[in-house]
Structures are given as C-alpha cells and as structure tokens.
Structure 1
Amino acid sequence: MEIVRCERVKKVYGSGGSQVTALSGINLSVGKPVDYDCGIERSDCAAGCGDTACQLQIQHRK
C-alpha cells in the first residue's frame, strides 16, 4: 500500500545568477510492507537476499 509519493522533485539553492539545482526530476514512493510470500525458501533464494523475509519480498516482487 502506497503511503506517500513525490514526483519530479527539485531542490534549488540560491537565487538569480548564483542559483544552483542540486536535485532535479527525483521520484520517491514510500509504501507500507505487504504480507507477501514468493514461495522460494530462504536458503534457495537466487538473489542472495536470505537475511530476512523482508528482503525476499523486495527482491522477488519486481
């Protein structure tokens, strides 16, 4: 479940001729973890993410 989404974020420092853009076009989405089972045993995880169930969810949800 998505909690917050920011799209095309830009951070500008200064003004006029000394204006500098530090970030431009940054997209961010933060979501609440869902209960997801990829069906792969942690010891057989090809992504090598067998540390926590959370990492399995992230790697195999793509």
Structure 2
Amino acid sequence: MQADEIGYQILEKKYRSVINKSIIILKISQLNQDITIFYFSFLNFAYHNKKYRFEKHFI
C-alpha cells in the first residue's frame, strides 16, 4: 500500500487539476489491480491531452 500512496502523491503533485476529478476512483479502489487500471487510464488520458508529460514509472 505504501507504493500506491507514493504513486498517488506524485500524481497529485504533477496532475492536481485532473486528479481532483478522479480522486474518488482512488479512494474506493482497495486492490492494487484497480489502482493500476486507474493509473493506465489516467496516463492514457493525460498522454492524449498532450498537456502533461507521459511518465513511464507510473506503469
């Protein structure tokens, strides 16, 4: 769970405006698999928006 919290803190710092819309998904996700899917979905969204840099270490 610590790794997920650290990943979330990095995401929150870099993508605060987008993360505020998706914060509920992280709070209700208790399995690592769910959080991984969220990371993939979020990065896909950020990459296609081209407002944010694609960060490999979230995968």
**TM-score w.r.t. structure 1 length?**
0.22
Q: Which has the higher helix share?
A: 2
TM-score by length of 2: 0.23
Greater per-residue strand proportion = 1
Larger radius of gyration: 1
